[in-house]
Amino acid sequence: MNYCLMHKNVAVALLELDEETGFIQKAKALYEREHLPCGVRVLNGLPDRAALNDWWLERSIPASRSGIVRALEILDLKTTKMLLLRCFGLSLSDQYWMKPENSGLEWGQINFFENGFSEDIGDVLLGKTDKSADLDFSSPDNTSDGCLKKRWKILDGKRVLLKSGSNPFQQQPFNEVIASAVAERLKIPHVEYKLLWDDGVPFSVCEDFIDTKTELISAWRIMQSVKRENGVSVYRHYINCCERFGVKDIGPAVDKMIVLDYIIANEDRHQNNFGLIRDPDSLTWLGAAPIFDSGTSLGYDKLAGQILSGRDIECKPFKKRHEDQIKLVTSFDWIDFDALSDVDEEIREILSAAGKFVDDERREAIIESVQGRISALKVFASERSPQRDELIDDIPADSAEEF
């Protein structure tokens, strides 16, 4: 069946989609080249179908999502890709959607920013129901990314994302709150995460930082906009791409992200976990997105001894080791170390609420490791000399998360 790829009310391209699988089978016409998803090239006057499929299928819930096998059983679907068209591909993070040709549907009637949405898919994804009859599939949960169980809800009129942790420590929601606290102290633009308990399970909750006048474009997409030349590091490539889009002050924003990730030992700042904000109407690039998704950090899956040892900490998106990634920071002058002097107390308070999930030994190990990393950062910042961006330390390949 034919669908028009839409960007709010702008018709971008005419496509033929297989409704069973969700795949784009053919690109039939291109109307507005500038509005194509970032990184999708035009070949012989038509959008590159393979690149469009990559972009489109990236919108589906990843196969690695916790609990997805059971959810698909209940929904009686083979893959999460089949959910995409059930909500016209609408999301709460950007403004793209697929309009059935000749349907007369308008963005204003159906977008999830201004209209309500069903809780059915969220209930299934969170394992709250086994009900499979009469489900209403119109939900932004069909297009939400990431491995952890999550759902969008409207609370007090605001669109919020609820996200759980993983066993055995369920630490990620607490980590999100701690990352918010560290970012707040260092005045790093960030999404504010709070804690919410539901049925004895901890969740992080944050407001949608996108509205009808903005959209999130991931670093992964931004880096698809130009081929990375041999000899250009991932870091340099990202900075170059942003500058090409006219985002001039990206360096300081990346500095802040690297510093925060160093302090909290973030292991998962992959290329879909940061990016830029764009105005979907004028296509003006507005700057770096606030920091979000910092929960896979603070030794979330490690034992207390391993947390204290500081070994085996993965690093992304630029270098394999935080010790090398921190060398990319161009200035540490903005860091107010005094603002971190009593951060241990705040972390202790946040983790004390975790009850059985984080015992005393684990909590103190996390605090000690953060203090150790702050001290190391202080020394590094005071002693630093200009560093080289060595390719040998780069991550092995450009990678977003695995789909």
Q: Please calculate the CA angle 214-316-50 and round it to the nearest 5 degrees.
A: 60
* 267 vs 374, beta carbon nearer ligand ATP: 267
- Tell me the residue nearest to ligand ATP as measured from the CB: 146
* 138 vs 218, beta carbon nearer ligand ATP: 218
From the list ligand ATP, Mg ion, none, partner contacted by residue 7 (C-beta under 5 to 8 A by kind)? none
* Residues near ligand ATP (CB under 6 A): 92-93, 144-148, 150, 161, 163, 191, 206, 208-210, 216, 268, 272-273, 292-293, 295-296, 401
Residue 276's contacts (CB-CB under 8 Å, 6 or more residues apart) are 216, 217, 219, 222, 242, 245, 247, 250, 285, 286, 287, 288, 289
Structure-block tokens of residue 218: 């991931």
* 138 vs 271, beta carbon nearer Mg ion: 271
Helix, strand or coil, per DSSP, at residue 345 = helix
Question: Does 146 interact with Mg ion (rule: CB under 5 A)?
Answer: yes
Q: Which of residues 366-395 bind Mg ion (CB under 5 A)?
A: none
Question: Does 267 interact with Mg ion (rule: CB under 5 A)?
Answer: no
* 7 vs 270, beta carbon nearer Mg ion: 270
Size of the site for Mg ion (CB under 5 A): 3
Closest approach of Cβ 380 to ligand ATP, in Å? 27
Closest approach of Cβ 350 to ligand ATP, in Å? 18
Closest approach of Cβ 163 to Mg ion, in Å? 9
From the list Mg ion, ligand ATP, none, partner contacted by residue 292 (C-beta under 5 to 8 A by kind)? ligand ATP
Closest approach of Cβ 273 to ligand ATP, in Å? 5
Beta strands 275-278 and 285-288: pairing type?
antiparallel
Closest approach of Cβ 223 to ligand ATP, in Å? 15
CA-nearest of 240, 234, 177, 168 to 205 is 177
* 146 vs 202, beta carbon nearer ligand ATP: 146
Q: How many Å apart are CA 84 and CA 114, to the nearest integer?
A: 20
Closest approach of Cβ 20 to ligand ATP, in Å? 26
* 148 vs 242, beta carbon nearer Mg ion: 148
Closest approach of Cβ 148 to ligand ATP, in Å? 4
Q: How many Å apart are CA 104 and CA 179, to the nearest integer?
A: 44
List Cα–Cα distances, 29 to 4, 14, 85, in angstroms.
Answer: 9, 5, 20
Closest approach of Cβ 311 to ligand ATP, in Å? 22
Closest approach of Cβ 359 to ligand ATP, in Å? 24
Q: How many Å apart are CA 260 and CA 65, to the nearest integer?
A: 26
Q: How many Å apart are CA 381 and CA 335, to the nearest integer?
A: 9
Question: Does 293 interact with Mg ion (rule: CB under 5 A)?
Answer: yes
Question: Does 261 interact with Mg ion (rule: CB under 5 A)?
Answer: no
Q: Which range in 42-50, 112-120, 265-273, 380-388 contacts Mg ion by CB under 5 A?
A: 265-273
Q: Which of residues 81-110 bind Mg ion (CB under 5 A)?
A: none
Q: Considering only CA atoms, give the Rg of the chain.
A: 22
- CB-based contact 152:161 (threshold 8 Å): yes
Q: How many Å apart are CA 128 and CA 201, to the nearest integer?
A: 12
Structure-block tokens of residue 302: 């490690």
Q: Which range in 46-54, 81-89, 106-114, 271-279 contacts Mg ion by CB under 5 A?
A: 271-279
3-state secondary structure 275-333: EEEECCCCCCEEEECCECCCCCCCCCCCCHHHHHHCCCCCCCCCECCHHHHHHHCCCCC
From the list ligand ATP, Mg ion, none, partner contacted by residue 39 (C-beta under 5 to 8 A by kind)? none
* 53 vs 175, beta carbon nearer ligand ATP: 175
Question: Does 297 interact with Mg ion (rule: CB under 5 A)?
Answer: no
CA-nearest of 154, 156, 174 to 356 is 174
Structure-block tokens of residue 270: 């992959």
The residues binding Mg ion (CB under 5 A) are: 146, 273, 293
